[in-house]
């Protein structure tokens, strides 16, 4: 190939390359006429926002507890990624996990056990309310306590008297010897006669006395009691404690002492009921 053809080919290639480059520049050029007013406003707003973000400062606290103001470029809080702490940059966020041993120690610390403290506070408040209620009603509680104590003491005394067969009438001990002597002197054949005479005279107290003396005489004849000068009705009841006659005779003795020594008035109907009890007791002794 001749040198002339070579030069012609090179020149042609250069022309083609320059033409292609010119077309690319024409397609990339954007004139001011092509930019609308709205696009210009948006572009200006974005530039202002970027400028504001570039000048934003924040407060950063490091591990030593010190704080400092730093400028965050290019809105780094939107782009920042979690990772290990960078001592040089002092800006990277990091996650620190508490060791299991440290967590166990924290759980065991009483200062951090808030639930227990709350329960203790509630218990203390409840005790305070109870104490205030007791103080407000102290007089009522005290009077109630004394009443219950007195009732308990009275019940104890009554049970002791019933168990010991102690007579409530002092004259019973002084007159029992006279009764047993009179019972022996009168004789069993005269008890019914004297009782009928007292009933006719409406002297029911004397009639009850004759019935009781007759019961004592029958007990002596049955060898259930032993007469004695200083013995009382309670002594006779203790001698009968092991027999089936103790309970009915104790009932008759109580009525007799109330009526005779206590001088309790008695009408005909009341005497007839009591006379039936004496008759049943005598019948049980003779059976």
pLDDT, tens digit, for every residue of 264-278? Answer: 888 999 999 999 999
- Looking at residues 168-176, what average pLDDT do you find? 48
Average pLDDT over all residues of the chain: 74
Which one of 20-34, 43-57, 135-149 scores highest in mean pLDDT?
Answer: 135-149
Structure tokens at 24: 């690319």
Helices 171-186, 204-221: axis angle to 10 degrees equals 70
Which one of 16-20, 165-169, 246-250 scores highest in mean pLDDT?
Answer: 246-250
Question: Could you tell me the pLDDT band of residue 39, with boundaries at 50, 70 and 90?
Answer: low
pTM: 0.40
| Dist. CA 143–CA 95, nearest whole Å | 69
The residue ranking higher by pLDDT, 252 or 136, is: 252
Question: Could you tell me the pLDDT band of residue 230, with boundaries at 50, 70 and 90?
Answer: confident
pLDDT, tens digit, for every residue of 243-254? Answer: 999 999 999 999
pLDDT, tens digit, for every residue of 254-265? Answer: 999 999 998 888
pLDDT exceeds 70 at position 163: no
Query: Which three-class secondary structure string do you get for the chain?
Result: CCHHHHHHHHHHHHHHHHHHHHHHHHHHCCCHHHCCHHHHHHHHHHHHHHHHHHCCEEEEECCCCCEEEEECCCCHHHHCCCCCCCCCCCCCCCCCCCCHHHHHHHHHCHHHCHHHHHHHHHHHHHHHHHHHHHHHCHHHHHHHHHHHHHHHHHHHHHHHHHHHCCCCCCHHHHHHHHHHHHHHHHCHHHHHHHHHHHHHCCCHHHHHHHHHHHHHHHHHHCCCCCCCCCCCHHHHHHHCCCCCCHHHHHHHHHHHHHHHCCCCCCCHHHHHHHHHHHHHHHHHHHC
């Amino acid at each position: 190939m001749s040198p002339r053809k070579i030069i012609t080919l090179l020149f042609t290639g250069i022309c083609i390359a320059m033409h292609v480059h010119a077309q690319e520049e024409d397609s990339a050029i954007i004139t001011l006429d092509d930019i609308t007013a709205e696009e210009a406003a948006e572009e200006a707003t974005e530039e202002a926002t970027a400028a504001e973000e570039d000048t934003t400062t924040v407060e950063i606290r490091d591990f030593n507890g010190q704080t400092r103001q730093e400028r965050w470029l290019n809105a780094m809080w939107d782009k920042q990624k979690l990772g290990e702490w960078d001592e040089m940059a002092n800006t990277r966020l990091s996650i620190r996990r508490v060791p299991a041993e440290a967590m166990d120690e924290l759980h065991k610390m009483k200062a951090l056990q808030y639930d227990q403290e709350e329960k203790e506070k509630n218990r203390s408040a409840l005790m305070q309310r109870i104490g205030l209620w007791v103080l407000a009603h102290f007089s009522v509680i005290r009077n109630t306590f004394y009443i219950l104590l007195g009732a308990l003491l009275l019940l104890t005394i009554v049970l002791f008297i019933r168990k010991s067969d102690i007579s409530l009438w002092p004259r019973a001990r002084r007159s029992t010897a006279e009764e047993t002597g009179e019972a022996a002197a009168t004789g069993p054949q005269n008890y019914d006669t004297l009782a009928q005479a007292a009933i006719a005279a409406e002297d029911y107290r004397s009639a009850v006395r004759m019935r009781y003396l007759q019961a004592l005489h029958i007990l002596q004849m049955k060898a259930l009691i032993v007469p004695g000068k200083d013995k009382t009705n309670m002594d006779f009841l203790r001698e009968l404690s092991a027999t089936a006659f103790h309970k009915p005779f104790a009932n008759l003795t109580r009525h007799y002492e109330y009526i005779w020594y206590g001088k309790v008035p008695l009408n005909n109907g009341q005497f007839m009921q009591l006379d039936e009890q004496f008759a049943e007791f005598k019948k049980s002794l003779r059976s």
